[in-house]
Chains A and B, each alone.
Chain A
Amino acid sequence: MGKAVLTGRHFWYGNIAIAEGAIAAGCRFFAGYPITPASEIAEHISRRFPEVGGIFVQFEDELASMAAILGASWAGVKSMTATSGPGFSLMMENIGLGVMMEVPVVVVDVQRGAPSTGLPTLTAQGDVMQAKWGSHGQYEIIALSPESPQEAFDLTIRCFNLAEKYRVPTILLASESVCHSAGKVVVPPEEEIEIVYRKKPSVPPDEYLPYKPDEDLIPPMACAGEGYSIKTTGLTHDERGYPDTTPEAQEKLVKRLNDKIRMHREEIVEVEEDFMDDAEIAVVSYGQVSRPAKRAVKMAREEGIKAGSIRLITVWPFAEHIIRKWAKQVDFFVVPELNYGQIYLEVKREACGNAETILVPRMGGRLITPEEIYHEIKKVVGR
C-alpha cells in the first residue's frame, strides 16, 4: 500500500489539496463526472486511489455519482464526489436523499461563473444559496468555504468529520480561484490529524431502530451487511425507517433533521476575526474573497479607520450568533462577494437593523481586489 497521508510541505493546486485532504480523511470511494474547474480532483484521485486501496469510478453523470456515494457510504466507506455548478445542479435530488436518509458524504462544488454553462474556467461564488436550498423541501446542511490551497486541504478533512458526526451531506464550497491557484500546503503527521467516524449502534439488531436519535438528535448508524436489517427510504419515515406519510411523522422528522444541525450551530460554525475589538466597520467575507478583504482591512487600519474582518469559514449553518453579536458594536457590515448578493442577505437579516449592511458585488469571472474593497470602506466612512 502507498502512503495515505503525505506528511510534509507541498506546493499544491487547491484541487490537489482537496483530493489529498479527502485521502487523509479516510475517503476511499470517489464517484464523479468530469467538469471544469473540478476535474483535477477526480484525475488526482484516479491516480492515487489504487495506491491506497480506494475505489474510483467515473460515472455516466452527476446523478449517478451522487447516488453512488450515498450507496458506498451505506456500505461503511467514507465517500465523496466533486463537481461544479452544472453538475451540482444535477446532484440536488440525491443530496436531498442524503439529508433524508442521513448519510455522511462530502460533495465538493468548485464554483464557476453561472447561471447555466456560464464561465467554465473562471471563478464565482454564485452557488452559496443553492448549497443551502438547492434540493426541495426544508433542511439544514453544512458547507465550508476555503480561502487557500492549505485550507482546501484542512477543510476537506473537516467536511468529512462533520459529515460523519452529524450524518449529513457536507459541502466544500470552493471556487475556481482557490482550486486553480497553487500555494504552500503543510500536511501534518498522520497521528495529528483528527478523524471522526460515525457513531455505531450500541444495541443488538433486534433492539435497533435506525432512525431513533440519541439526545444529540443524531441516530447511530448501522451499515449494510452488519446484520441490522436496515430499512431506509426517501419517504417520510418513523424511527424504524418505515414509511409513515402522516402529518405527525412529517412534523417530527423534518423538525429533527433541521434541529440536529441548528442545535449544534456554535460547534459547527467556525469564523476568523481580525481587528474586531474596536471595529466600527466589519468586512464579512468567505472563500478566496477573504484574502483581498483582509488586505483591505489592513489598508484601512493604516489610514486610522476602525475596520475589522469577519471571515466565515463555515458558510452553512450561517454564523447568525456571530453577526448578531457584532451588529451591536459595528455601524456597518461590508460584504464583498462574487455574486449579486447572497450571504449579504443573511448578514442583513441578522444585523436586524442594528448595523447597516452594504453589498460589494462582483458577478464573478475575477476576484475583487483589495483596493476595490478598501474603496468601499472609504465610501462608508465618508457617510
Chain B
Amino acid sequence: MEETCELLHPIDRWLKTERMPHIWCPGCGVGPTIHAWVRALERVGIEKEKVVYVSGIGCCGRGSGYLDVDGFHTTHGRAIPFAVGLKLANPELCVTVISGDGDLFAIGGNHFIHACRRNNDLLVICVNNFIYGMTGGQLAPTTPHGGYSTTSPYGNIEHPFNTPHLADAAGAVYVARWTSIHVRELELSIAEALRMKGFRYIEVLSPCPVNFGRRNNFPEPDAMAKWFAQSSVIMHGADTSKVAIDMGKPIILGNFVKREGKPTYYELLRKLEEMRRKR
C-alpha cells in the first residue's frame, strides 16, 4: 500500500526541507535554538516575507541557509554590522542575527557593544557552546576558566565574558539567558523580544557534545544537556553582574533586563531629519 505522509511538522513552512539533513551533530543545541526562534515568529505572527536571518561564520552560522526566509551567511564576526545596514536601509524588515559566541564576542565583539550602544533595532541571539565548534574545538572568549580546548590543552587561563552583563552595560534594551533545552521559556523570551524595538540580546547556552563536552567531563552525548538541567536556576530580573558562568556553580537563567522608552538609532535619525526640514 502506498503511504502518504500528510503530517507535516508545524514549522515545516519555515524550512527549506530540500536542504535537509543539516550539518549539525546529534545533541547540538543550534537546531533547538532556531526552532524556538521560528515558533516565536509564529507566535508573534510576523509575516514570513519580512523575516531576515543574518548569521556569521561557524556551525551556528549555517542556520541562515536552512530556512525559507531571506538568509544572509556573511563573514566571521560581521553579521551585526551587515544586519545593521540591512535593517536601516529597510526598517520594515524583522531582522535577527543568530550566531556563535566566537563570532559575536571574539572577532565580532566590537560590533556587538557598539550596536548595543547605538540601540540599533536588532534581535541578536548568541548560541553559546563555550567553544569554537566549526573549526574543531579551539578556545572561545566564553570558554570557562580552567576549561579544556584544543588550544588550551592544559586548561584555560583566561576569564570568559559574562555576555548578558556585557550587553546590559553597553545598553541593550532586552537581555535574557536560556539554554537550548529550555525550549518553552526560550520561545516565550524570544517572542517577548520580537515584540520590542531596539537592541535585544538573548544568550542561549547550548551543548556541543563533540567539541566541548567530550574534552570537559561531559563524555556522553547528553551530558551537557543534563548539566544544564541540573544546574540551572531561573531568576528573572537578576543582576547581570552576578550571572557569570562558573563550572560547578549554579547557572542563572532568566529574562534579566527590559528597558522601556529608549529610542532606537533609526527613530532618532528620523527625528533629526524632521528637525532639519523644519529649519
Tell whether, in the assembled complex, residue B75 and residue A225 are in contact, meaning their CB atoms are under 8 Å apart: no
- Docked complex Cα distance between A28 and B62 (Å): 30
Residue numbers in A under 8 Å from B65 (CB-CB): 231, 233, 242-243
- Docked complex Cα distance between A59 and B78 (Å): 12
Give 1 or 0 for each of B47-85: 1 = CB within 8 Å of chain A CB: 001101010010000101100111111110110111111
Tell whether, in the assembled complex, residue B78 and residue A67 are in contact, meaning their CB atoms are under 8 Å apart: yes
Residue numbers in A under 8 Å from B68 (CB-CB): 229
Q: Mostly helix, strand, loop or mixed at chain B's interface? A: helix
Tell whether, in the assembled complex, residue B73 and residue A64 are in contact, meaning their CB atoms are under 8 Å apart: no
Q: Does A63 contact B (CB under 8 A)?
A: yes
Residue numbers in A under 8 Å from B276 (CB-CB): 50-51
- Docked complex Cα distance between A77 and B121 (Å): 18
The B-contacting residues of A in range 48-73, CB under 8 angstroms, are 50-51, 53, 55, 57, 59-61, 63-65, 67-73
Residue numbers in B under 8 Å from A75 (CB-CB): 85-87, 89-90, 93
Tell whether, in the assembled complex, residue B74 and residue A63 are in contact, meaning their CB atoms are under 8 Å apart: no
Tell whether, in the assembled complex, residue A68 and residue B71 are in contact, meaning their CB atoms are under 8 Å apart: no
Q: Does A15 contact B (CB under 8 A)?
A: no
Nearest B-chain residue to A69, judged by Cβ: B85
Q: Does B169 contact A (CB under 8 A)?
A: no
Residue numbers in A under 8 Å from B89 (CB-CB): 28-29, 55, 71-73, 75-77, 79
Tell whether, in the assembled complex, residue B52 and residue A67 are in contact, meaning their CB atoms are under 8 Å apart: no
- Docked complex Cα distance between A59 and B88 (Å): 13
Tell whether, in the assembled complex, residue B88 and residue A97 are in contact, meaning their CB atoms are under 8 Å apart: no
Interchain nearest-CB distance for B121 vs A (Å)? 13
- Known contacts A61-B110, A71-B86, A242-B19, A228 near B81 by CB under 8 Å: no
Residue numbers in B under 8 Å from A227 (CB-CB): 49
Residue numbers in B under 8 Å from A217 (CB-CB): none
Q: Does A74 contact B (CB under 8 A)?
A: yes
Question: Which of B65, B89, B92, B265 has the most chain A CB within a 10 Å cutoff?
Answer: B89
Tell whether, in the assembled complex, residue B70 and residue A94 are in contact, meaning their CB atoms are under 8 Å apart: no
Residue numbers in B under 8 Å from A334 (CB-CB): none
Q: Does B6 contact A (CB under 8 A)?
A: no
Interchain nearest-CB distance for A4 vs B (Å)? 14
Residue numbers in A under 8 Å from B64 (CB-CB): 231, 233
Q: Does B111 contact A (CB under 8 A)?
A: yes
- Docked complex Cα distance between A234 and B57 (Å): 9
The B-contacting residues of A in range 359-381, CB under 8 angstroms, are none
Tell whether, in the assembled complex, residue A71 and residue B54 are in contact, meaning their CB atoms are under 8 Å apart: yes
Tell whether, in the assembled complex, residue A233 and residue B73 are in contact, meaning their CB atoms are under 8 Å apart: yes
Give 1 or 0 for each of A228-270: 1 = CB within 8 Å of chain B CB: 1111111100000011000000000000000000000000000
Q: Does B272 contact A (CB under 8 A)?
A: yes
Tell whether, in the assembled complex, residue B75 and residue A97 are in contact, meaning their CB atoms are under 8 Å apart: yes
Which single member of A60, A61, A67, A232 contacts B85 (CB below 8 Å)? A67
The A-contacting residues of B in range 245-279, CB under 8 angstroms, are 265, 269, 272-273, 276-277
Which single member of A71, A76, A226 contacts B82 (CB below 8 Å)? A71
Interchain nearest-CB distance for B123 vs A (Å)? 15
Q: Does B114 contact A (CB under 8 A)?
A: yes
Which single member of A60, A69, A72, A225 contacts B70 (CB below 8 Å)? A225
- Docked complex Cα distance between A69 and B81 (Å): 9
The B-contacting residues of A in range 148-190, CB under 8 angstroms, are none
Tell whether, in the assembled complex, residue A64 and residue B111 are in contact, meaning their CB atoms are under 8 Å apart: yes
Q: Does A322 contact B (CB under 8 A)?
A: no
Q: Does A31 contact B (CB under 8 A)?
A: yes
Residue numbers in B under 8 Å from A272 (CB-CB): none
Nearest B-chain residue to A105, judged by Cβ: B85
- Known contacts A71-B85, A72-B88, A232 near B75 by CB under 8 Å: no
Q: Does A93 contact B (CB under 8 A)?
A: yes
Q: Does A224 contact B (CB under 8 A)?
A: yes
The A-contacting residues of B in range 12-27, CB under 8 angstroms, are 16, 19
Interchain nearest-CB distance for B47 vs A (Å)? 10
Interchain nearest-CB distance for B237 vs A (Å)? 30
- Docked complex Cα distance between A93 and B71 (Å): 20
Give 1 or 0 for each of A13-34: 1 = CB within 8 Å of chain B CB: 0000000000000001101000
- Docked complex Cα distance between A74 and B89 (Å): 9
The A-contacting residues of B in range 76-133, CB under 8 angstroms, are 77-78, 80-90, 92-93, 110-111, 114
Tell whether, in the assembled complex, residue A74 and residue B86 are in contact, meaning their CB atoms are under 8 Å apart: yes
Residue numbers in B under 8 Å from A231 (CB-CB): 16, 64-65, 71
Nearest B-chain residue to A64, judged by Cβ: B81
Tell whether, in the assembled complex, residue A67 and residue B75 are in contact, meaning their CB atoms are under 8 Å apart: yes
Question: Which of B77, B88, B265 has the most chain A CB within a 10 Å cutoff?
Answer: B88
- Known contacts A50-B273, A64-B114, A242-B65, A55 near B75 by CB under 8 Å: no
Tell whether, in the assembled complex, residue A63 and residue B77 are in contact, meaning their CB atoms are under 8 Å apart: yes
Residue numbers in B under 8 Å from A79 (CB-CB): 85, 89
Residue numbers in A under 8 Å from B81 (CB-CB): 31, 59, 63-65, 67-68, 71
Nearest A-chain residue to B62, judged by Cβ: A243
Give 1 or 0 for each of A70-106: 1 = CB within 8 Å of chain B CB: 1111111101000000000000011001000000000
- Docked complex Cα distance between A69 and B85 (Å): 6
Interchain nearest-CB distance for B82 vs A (Å)? 4
Nearest B-chain residue to A59, judged by Cβ: B81
The B-contacting residues of A in range 207-229, CB under 8 angstroms, are 223-229
| Interchain Cβ contacts under 8 Å between A and B, 8 examples | A51-B276, A51-B277, A55-B89, A64-B84, A68-B82, A75-B89, A224-B70, A230-B72
Binding site for A on B (CB under 8 A): 16, 19, 49-50, 52, 54, 57, 62, 64-65, 68-75, 77-78, 80-90, 92-93, 110-111, 114, 265, 269, 272-273, 276-277
Taking A64-B110, A65-B81 as given, write out 19 further A-B residue pairs in contact, using a Cβ cutoff of 8 Å, ordered by the A residue number.
A31-B85, A59-B81, A60-B111, A61-B110, A64-B81, A67-B75, A68-B84, A71-B82, A73-B85, A77-B90, A225-B49, A225-B70, A228-B70, A230-B72, A231-B16, A231-B65, A231-B71, A234-B73, A234-B74
8 tightest A-B contacts by CB? A68-B85, A71-B85, A71-B86, A75-B89, A64-B81, A233-B73, A72-B89, A75-B90
